[in-house]
A = this chain, B = another copy of it.
Amino acid sequence: MGPNEIKHNAPTPPYVQLAAILRSRVERGDWRPGEPIASELRLTEEYGVSRGTVRRAIAVLVDEGVLFVVPHRGTYVAER
């Protein structure tokens, strides 16, 4: 883990921090294009934030074209 921890008292909001973490995990190849990333519930447990924060972070990456959501199925890594 290391730096991949959410700081609640940082000037950068948790959802922005988490978005950066998830972005780097995708770039690192942690999750490959076309494959699902961890579920929202899993991410809340892994990073100690609320689901609302997780969903907001995902929304950022969806907006960037890094991820896409399939309703009731999961969140996936976009194809390049």
- A: residues with CB less than 8 A from B are 8-9, 71
Contacts and interface: CB of A to CB of B under 8 A. Distances in A.
A72 B8 CA distance: 9
A32 to B, nearest CB: 24
Contacts of A8: 71
Nearest to A8: B71
A79 to B, nearest CB: 19
Nearest to A73: B8
Nearest to A50: B72
Nearest to A70: B8
A8 B8 CA distance: 35
A2 B9 CA distance: 37
